[in-house]
Amino acid sequence: MTPGARIAAAIAVLDEVLSGAPAEKVLTTWARRNRYAGSGDRAAIRDHVYDALRCRRSFAWLGGAETGRGLMLGAQRASGTDPSSLFTGEGYAPAPVGAEEAGQDLSNAPDAVRLDMPDWLMGPLSDSLGDRTEPALAVLRTRAPVFLRVNIARADREDVRAMLAADGIETAPHPLADTALEVTSNPRRVAQSRAYLDGLVELQDASSQAACAAVPLEPGARVLDYCAGGGGKALALAARGARVTAHDSDPRRMRDLPVRAERAGAAIVTEETIADADRFDVVLCDVPCTGSGTWRRTPEAKWLLTPERLDDLCRTQAEILATAARHVKPGGTLVYMTCSMLTAENSAQIEEFLAASKGWTLTLSRRFSPEDGGDGFFVAVMDAPST
Ligand SMILES: C[S@@+](CC[C@H](N)C(=O)[O-])C[C@H]1O[C@@H](n2cnc3c(N)ncnc32)[C@H](O)[C@@H]1O
């Protein structure tokens, strides 16, 4: 496909996404209906679509309309390209640019447009991020790096780098965590690489790895991962020698965990219900959240979030903390994590829990910003009273 034809395809996909269809589904259907498109075309169209969803408001401003065509016109202007070189109307390229499609200069745009956020979120975000709001949100407008977690139970980071390099995948150690590698070439080859198939690496964001590394663990500690989902955190803690029980209120979300655990050589037990009397050395609550720290990867989510949904999530987070805390043994540890940048989901939850729970002490509270290289993330560690 020509560059113009790829843009025309992205416009068609974006129009469906803007009318409410999930981007992944529309991209898959598009690929099925257009078998002539090769993997390079599909990847390029996907990149156009996700770039446009990340920068939806600024591209619409520059492109003169919040439509697939407006977004793609805006994308060209944002990258300093005159769209008329690609919008030619020739072959499968989009129709030439009309006089009414001039768009507007971004320097006159409101902050929420320039930074690609819904208006209502600018207040909560600047309350949370203070003078780092603009740089953090600027990072969310860019593509996310791909990170791997080295399974330190079975391999050394440098040996794994060499193995990946032998499969044509270049990586660089990342300062956020001793286990983290940033993939700098051929990320699409990871799932077929020997290191991955042998369980020596897993895909996991670097902030998430750093948060897992901050969990205090005695050798052989019994850990309950109360919101285990696909098991990313459970696997990271098992690699550090923890004996992990994985639980989730929706057990279907743990479906892939046994296979991932087997590949990593980790003994993780999954439990649909945790007995009232069961107590653990460490209980981890990686709670459902807005995911605002991960919006580089899931840009559709930032446009779908509403104040009501945020309130619902905060209520669920408080309930989970209160319930999970009952499974911490006396003197044990409760860990709370989110991939959010919002105070309401982070330190405010911890303050509320500590105010309502006698004898608990906060031993660590750490925020990670997208400016650090990984996702926006939060971890808090609390010690239970010893009696
Ligand atoms: C952020 S995701 C977990 C991601 C996972 N820990 C990982 O590292 O891959 C949150 C999980 O919490 C689960 N969840 C939601 N409400 C819950 C509840 N009341 N109790 C336990 N788990 C819950 C969701 O089903 C979801 O899988």
80 CA distance to ligand 1 middle (Å) = 42
- What are the backbone angles phi and psi of residue 267, rounded to the nearest 5°? -90, 95
The label of the residue with tokens 């270049």 reads 170
- Under a CB-based contact definition with an 8 Å cutoff, are residues 360 and 381 in contact? no
Atom of ligand 1 nearest to the CA of 233: 8
Measured from the Cβ of residue 80, the count of other Cβ atoms closer than 10 Å reads 6
- Cα-to-centroid distance, 149 and ligand 1 (Å): 20
Domains of the chain are 3-109 (no CATH), 146-203 (3.30.70.1170), 207-383 (3.40.50.150)
User: What is the DSSP annotation of 207-232?
Assistant: HHHHHHHTS---TT-EEEETT-TT-H
In a 3-state reduction of DSSP, which class is residue 11? helix
Whether 289 sits among the annotated catalytic residues: the reply is no
Task: Phi first, then psi: give them for residue 328, nearest 5 degrees.
Answer: -90, 130
Q: Would you list which residues are annotated within the binding site for S-adenosyl-L-methionine?
A: 248, 286
Burial class (CB in 10 A: 0-12, 13-18, 19+), 330: exposed
Distance 81 CA to ligand 1 centre (A): 43
pLDDT in tens, 101-133: 999 999 999 999 999 999 999 999 999 999 999
Atom of ligand 1 nearest to the CA of 228: 6
Q: Which sign does the torsion angle of CA 200, 337, 25, 303 carry?
A: negative
Binding-site annotation: residue ranges: 248, 286
Measured over the CA atoms of residue 108, residue 303, residue 138 and residue 185, the dihedral's sign is: negative
Confidence of residue 12 (pLDDT cuts 50, 70, 90): very high
- 226 CA closest ligand 1 atom index: 21
In the sheet that holds 280-286, the strands lie side by side as 268-270, 243-246, 222-225, 280-286, 328-338, 377-383, 361-368
pLDDT tens profile 330-387: 999 999 999 999 999 999 999 999 999 999 999 999 999 999 999 999 999 999 999 7
The whole-angstrom separation of Cα 241 and Cα 178 is: 16
Complex ipTM: 0.99
Burial tier of 145 (Cβ tally within 10 Å: 0-12, 13-18, 19+) = middle
Residues 230-247: what's their mean pLDDT?
97
- Ligand 1 proximal residues by C-beta, below 6 Å: 226-233, 248-250, 253, 286, 288, 316, 320
Residues 66-95 pLDDT 10s: 999 999 999 999 999 999 999 999 999 999
Q: CA 172 to CA 91: how far, in whole Å?
A: 42
Main-chain phi, psi angles of 335, to 5 degrees: -120, 135
Alpha carbon of 248 to ligand 1 centroid (Å):
6
- Residue 387: per-residue pLDDT: 79
Please say whether the dihedral angle defined by the alpha carbons of residues 24, 27, 33 and 39, taken in this order, is positive or negative. negative
- Give the residue-averaged pLDDT of 308-321: 98
